[in-house]
Chain A
Amino acid sequence: DQQVKQNSPSLSVQEGRISILNCDYTNSMFDYFLWYKKYPAEGPTFLISISSIKDKNEDGRFTVFLNKSAKHLSLHIVPSQPGDSAVYFCAASRTGGSYIPTFGRGTSLIVHP
């Protein structure tokens, strides 16, 4: 039961270019979306979030776009840096519920110098 899907297990990008990580969800009750970043031997770290009342949220080099009609969100990293190499998890939750996020399987991003 994959309510949150990250269909690309890995992505390789040149330093300085844009990284685009995609995420799809199936549950229309989700109204709050998060991206987490995870380095090896560490736990997931919150990166950026977006509420369903918005279609874009920006924080420095990171921008999340939400397309509710398509049940799709994406994370853009511009410009990509080698230190961005990590596994990125998309997660979704319901603000009227327990806020427990449902995670995707993650996309491993490698940024080459």
Chain B
Amino acid sequence: EPEVTQTPSHQVTQMGQEVILRCVPISNHLYFYWYRQILGQKVEFLVSFYNNEISEKSEIFDDQFSVERPDGSNFTLKIRSTKLEDSAMYFCASRRTGGVETQYFGPGTRLLVL
């Protein structure tokens, strides 16, 4: 069964460093998403991406964040200058176009900012 994959599974970085989280969505999906979950809190929407552009973003997704689909398979989330409060689990998700669809989530990347 096709699945969303994410790399790395864990990342530790120093405050102020740039990180890039990578995702490979399901191949025939056209909508892509990033979510995060700070430990003990709810899963929060960051950004959605369709047709090579951001379609929606939350207040969390400020200028420190960017997304890119550099080729036909990868979908990346970049945090330019990490802060301590960026420590969280980051989930990528994708879905097919059309209708009321559910999203398929990847296993997540646990980011720890020291």
Point out the residues of chain A lying under 8 angstroms from B25, CB to CB.
Answer: none
User: CB-nearest residue of chain A relative to B95?
Assistant: A99
Decide yes or no: A98 and B48 within 8 Å by CB, A32-B100, A89-B43 being known contacts: yes
Other A-B pairs beyond A104-B42, A106-B42, 7, CB < 8 Å: A41-B108, A43-B93, A44-B91, A44-B105, A46-B102, A98-B56, A101-B45
Q: How far is the CB of B9 from chain A (nearest CB, A)?
A: 8
Total chain A interface residues with beta-carbon distance under 8 A = 24
**Residues of B near any A CB (own CB < 8 A):** 4, 6, 9, 33, 40-45, 48, 55-56, 91, 93, 95, 100-108
Interface residues of A in 37-59 (CB under 8 A from B): 41-46, 49, 51
A residues bordering B, Cβ < 8 Å? 2, 4, 32, 34, 36, 41-46, 49, 51, 89, 95, 98-106
Closest B residue by C-beta to A47: B102
Can you list 12 A-B pairs, Cβ within 8 angstroms, ordered by A? A43-B105, A44-B105, A46-B102, A46-B103, A49-B102, A89-B42, A89-B43, A100-B48, A101-B45, A103-B42, A104-B42, A106-B42
